[in-house]
Amino acid sequence: MIEDVAKNGTVDWAQLSDEETVSPEEHGKRIVFLAVILLLMLIFFWMENVMHKYKPKVGHETGITILLGICFSLAYFKWHGVNATDYEVFHFRPYVFFDFILPPIIFNSGYNMRRKKFFTNLGNIMITGLGVTFVCFTIYSAATYFVLAKMELTMTRYFNNLDPTHVVPETYPIEIPFMNVLMFTALICSSDVVAAVSIVDFSEQPKLYSCIFGEGIVNDIVSIVLFNTVEHLQETKFTRSTPWLILGEFACLAIVSILIGAAFGFACCLMFKHFYFLTTSVITETFLMTTFGLLAYFTSNGTVILGVEMSGIISMLVFAIIQGHYTWYNLSPQGKATTSVTYEFLGRACEALVYSYVGLSLYSCLPGFWSFELIGWELLIIIVGRIVGVLITFYLFRLCFRKATISFRQLLFIIYGGMIRGAIAFALVL
C-alpha cells in the first residue's frame, strides 16, 4: 500500500479496507484473549488485598497471576496448537509495551515514592543500587560464560509449531558469543521493586523499606543503561578495552538521559510555580504534568549520540522524581490528591497487565527451543551471585565508615528482595 501511494500518489481505500479486515475467527480470539487478561488483572488485585489481610508466609499476587497465565497457555496450546492467527493474537508488540504500558509504571515509581526517607538513605541506596548491580553483573557474566564453556549444555525443541501432539525432539548444543552473554546478564541484573517492597511494612521498618525501594529504582536505571550499552556493542569483539568502552558509553547514556529528564522536570516545575492560573483545574494540572513526562520520555528515546539511543525510561523516572519532590508543592490541594491517585492507579493497573501477560506469553514460546539445564544454572547463579555481590560490596564500603548503617538482618532482606525479576527485565527481553 505504501509503495502504491509513492508511485501513483493516490490511495485505494477499498484495498486498504480489505487489508485491515479482521476475520470473525480472529476477532473472537482477540475477545477471548482480552477477557483472560482482564480476568487475570482482577485476580491480581483481589489476591493483593487477600495477601494484605491474611499475610501468608508463602505466596505473592504476582506469582499467582503468572502461574494462572501459564496454566491457560498450556491448556490452550494443548487444545489448539499454534497457528498464524493465534500467534498474532497472543504476540505482544514491543511498541505497545514501551509506548503505552511502561511509562505509567515508571512515572508512578518516581512520583509516589517516599521521598524523605529515600534521600535520607541515599548513601545505602547508591551502594546497593549502583555498586551491587555492577558487581552482580560481573559475577553473572563470569559464571554464565564458565557454565556455557564447561558444562556442554543443550537446547531442545519438544513440539512441532502446528501440531502440539506431535513430539519432535530436536537437540542442539548451546553456543552463545561472549558479547551476547554480557547482554543476557545485563538483563537479569534488573530486579522487581514492586514485589520486593511488598515483603516489608513501611510503618514498621521505614529505613529498610526505603533502602529496598530505593535500590530497586536505582537498579532499574543502572540495568537499563547497562543493557542498552552492551546491546550497542554487540557487533564488536570483546577485548581488553571493551570494559572501559562499556563504562564510557554507560556514563554518556546515563548522564544525557538524566539531563533530559531533569530539563523537562524543572521546566514543568517552573511553569506551575510562575503561572498559578494553571492550577485552577485538576484536569489541566494532570494533563500538563503527564504531557511533559511523555515529552521527556520520547525526546530521550529519539536522541542518539555516537550511535547510542538514550533511555526514555531513565528520563521519565528522573522527571517523575522532580515532580514529586518539587512540583507537587505548587499544585492545588485537589491537584495534589488527584495526581497521586491517578498515577498510582495507572501504574498499578499497568503492572497488573504486565504480570497477567507474562504467563500468557508462554503460549508463543512453547514451540521454541528450551534448556532446563541452563534455566537451573542461571537460577543458581542469580541466587549465589546476589548473596556474594551484596555482602562483598556492602562490607567493602563498610571499611570506609566507622558506624554500621544497616544491620546484618536487614541486609538479608535486601539480598532476598533483589532476587526477584519483574517488569523491567521483561521489557528488556522485548
Beta-bridge partner residues of 159: 167
The ranges of the chain with pLDDT < 50 are 1-3, 5-7, 9, 11, 13-19
User: Are 231 and 187 spatial neighbours (Cβ–Cβ below 8 Å)?
Assistant: no
Q: What percent of the chain has pLDDT over 70?
A: 89
Residue pLDDT, tens place only, 181-201: 998 998 888 887 766 676 777
Can you tell me the distance from the alpha carbon of 422 to that of 120, in angstroms, rounded to the nearest whole number?
Answer: 26
pLDDT for res 17: 45
pLDDT for res 130: 87
pLDDT for res 36: 92
Q: What pTM was estimated for this model as a whole?
A: 0.81
Q: Which residues of 119-155 are buried (b: 16+ CB within 10 A; e: fewer)?
A: eebeebbebbbbbbbbbbbebbbebbeebbeeeebeb
pLDDT for res 19: 45
List, in sequence order, the alpha helices (H) in 9-161. Answer: 13-19, 24-54, 61-80, 84-90, 94-96, 102-111, 115-120, 122-126, 132-150
